[in-house]
Amino acid sequence: MKAATLGLCVKWALIGALVGVVANYYLYRVWLPIAPFVYQAF
């Protein structure tokens, strides 16, 4: 595999990993009873 492709893979795997962590954190935060700030719901 070319170095450029490898670099690309690592970069996007890291971005994917960040997204995965955010998804996990989202699930955690959603369970906390924090009154949400509502800008415009209707």
Partner 1 sequence: MTRKADRSQDRQAAPHESGRNSARFASFVVGAVLAFAICAAVGWKASSSNIFRDFGRFHTRLSPESFFQPTAREVMALARELLDKNKVNVVIGGSSVFYGVGQPEGQTIADNLRRDLGENYRVINLAMRGGDVSGIAEQTVEMLLREQYRVVYVSDIAVGGTVTLLGSTPYQYYFWDARARNMLIDWPARDQRLTLPWYAEQRMSAMLNKYLYFMDLWNTIGYDYVFTVYSTLIPGHFWQARKDLPDNEIDPPEQFRYRNGELELQLIKRISEMPTEPEWTLVGTALETALPDVVRKSAVLAVCENSPWLLEQAAPETQAIRKAMRERMVKRVMEVGPSSLLACEGFEKDDYIDRVHLSVSGAAKIAPRLADRVRATSRNNGWVQ
Partner 2 sequence: MIFFSHQFAVFTGLFFIAYWAVPIPLARRLLLLLASVTFQVHFSGPAGVLPIIVLAVGTYFVALSRNRLLCALWITVCALALIFYKYTHFLFQGIIGVAFPDLAKSGEEALAGILPTLPPLGVSFFVFEFVHYLMEIRRGHRPIRSPLTFALFTSFWPSLVAGPIKRYRQFSVSLSHGARNVSSDDVIAGMVRLAIGICKKFLGDVLTSWIQSQQASFDVLPLSVRWGIVVAIAFRILLDFSGYSDMAIGFARMMGIRLPENFNWPYIAHSITDFWRRWHISLSTWIRDYIYIPLGGSRHGLMRKSLNGFIAMALCGLWHGAAWNFALWGVYHGVGLAIAGALPLPRLLSEKPPLVFSSFRPAALAATWLAWRGFSWAATMLFVMIGWLLFFYPVDQAFHMTLRLFSH
Residue 23 Cβ vs partner 1, minimum distance, rounded to whole Å: 6
Q: Is the CB of 9 or the CB of 19 nearer to partner 2?
A: 19
SS3 of residue 15 by DSSP: helix
Q: Could you say which residues in the range 2-41 bind partner 2, by CB under 8 A?
A: 12, 15, 18-19, 22-23, 25-27, 29-31, 34, 36-41
Between 9 and 22, CB nearer to partner 2: 22
Distance (Å, whole) CA 19 – CA 28? 14
Distance CA(13)–CA(19), nearest Å, equals 10
